[in-house]
Structure 1
């Protein structure tokens, strides 16, 4: 499986909310640089895992609609729309963010991420 296919499958399967899946794909020294409407965050592995737990607790379902995916060498870039369903209303999805992320691999693990998000 190529790195592009690996990340596509990871995101489509809602891996960003799955702590076990994240723990497997993230390098121990991973760093995620995230520029959002709230400012810039720099997250390490434990903080990314905590964010996944928070997303999992706050939403019944999550859907990632990938619009673009480009791979070159050790880099894979995804542009996607993130939709969620609240626990109180699990059948109604809300579009919460537009995202673009560039992931850098080290072997078969994600080592560096550069993400930009915008509220939907």
Structure 2
């Protein structure tokens, strides 16, 4: 699989429910460098497993809407918005975050990810749409 196909397989999997996600797609020596609303976090393979275990306990589904998805050699860059349905409110999809990620692939698996996320809500989305309309 190409680097883009590996990252695409991650986003197209059932991230909120697939207990095999990490073992199938992440390299044993992986690192996830994430800067978000809680500051910087560095996850190794065990940390990534724990993160997605928490995700499975909180969400029924996650959906990703992309503005950018680019590949150069073994590196993929994505920019997207994440939407989720929580276990408590499975009928309501909520906008969760805007994310930019740089994925490095090694041996056909996710080896490194450098990610920056910004918490989002419906008002962020509305203001972005109006900003885009003004810019055009």
List, as ranges, runs of 4+ consecutive aligned residues in structure 1 with deviation greater than 6 Å: none
Q: Which runs of 5+ in 1 are unaligned?
A: none
Bigger Rg over Cα: 2
CA contact (8 A) 2:16 2:59 kept: no
Q: Compare the two structures and name the one with the higher strand fraction.
A: 1
**Superposition CA RMSD, Å:** 1.5
TM-score calculated relative to the size of structure 2: 0.81
The residue number in structure 1 matching 2:117 is 117
Q: 1:106 to 1:9 in 2, by over 3 A?
A: closer
Rounded Cα–Cα distance in structure 2 between residues aligned with 1:11 and 1:37: 22
1:7 deviates by 1.3
Q: 1:16 to 1:3 in 2, by over 3 A?
A: farther
Query: How many aligned positions are there?
Result: 120
Rounded Cα–Cα distance in structure 2 between residues aligned with 1:116 and 1:17: 23
TM-score calculated relative to the size of structure 1: 0.90
1:8 deviates by 1.7
Is the aligned partner of 1:102 residue 2:120? no
